[in-house]
Amino acid sequence: MSKHIIIIGFASCGKSLIGKLLANSLDWEFFDTDELIGHEFFKRSNTRLSCRGIYKSIGEDLFRELETDILKNLRLTKSAVISTGGGSPLSAENQRLLKDIGWVVYLKGTSEIIFDRMKEKGLPAFLESNSTVDGVSKILAERDPVYSQIADYWIDTSEMTPDNIVCEIRNKLSL
């Protein structure tokens, strides 16, 4: 089994962007679990939906099962950078999987920055009932202890450029 770098953090904290840049700098493969969930859902249902659409269509429990299946399959790949969905680390099974397959890097950001990015991309389904900075702050406060507990390294990305973040990850992991 190869060692992977897993990027975790709240929605819109930059996991996919940083993951792609890091994988490119290391000449490793890159996987985005949200994209893989979309592909797997299409194979199973012959329906193309965004992660938001899949989440709303099948519900959180089945969505999380699909996410866990994706992580189990990624254990078998060669060294890669893996960006996860913001909720991936919430289940105990996924926490064990993530820790087992590689170094876990938590990208932290402020609620305000994350909310501004979300407004540009579209708000995730889990924020529909409270689509405000306060809504982001509340969920981030719930998730931060989980992210922090399983992470090998934390990086506050609030004042950093993407290239600086990649350099910091490489330095922390001596790559």
Positive or negative, the CA dihedral 87, 88, 89, 90 is positive
pLDDT in tens, 158-168: 889 999 999 99
Range of the domain at 24: 4-172
CB contact at 8 A, 131 and 84 = no
3-state secondary structure of 53: helix
pLDDT of res. 120: 76
Q: Number of structural domains, the chain?
A: 1
pLDDT one-digit tens code per residue, 82-141: 999 999 999 999 999 999 999 999 999 898 988 888 877 776 666 666 677 888 889 899
Can you list the positions of beta strands (E) in 37-117? 80-83, 102-108
Type of residue numbered 58: I
| pLDDT value of residue 128 | 66
**Tokens representing residue 50 in the block:** 């965004």
CATH classification of the domain holding 151: 3.40.50.300
pTM across the whole model: 0.90
Q: What is the dihedral of CA 139, 38, 66, 166, to 10 degrees?
A: -60
Average pLDDT over the chain reads 90
22 touches 79 (CB < 8 A): no
Mean pLDDT of 29-49: 94
DSSP-H helix ranges across 75-132 = 92-101, 111-121
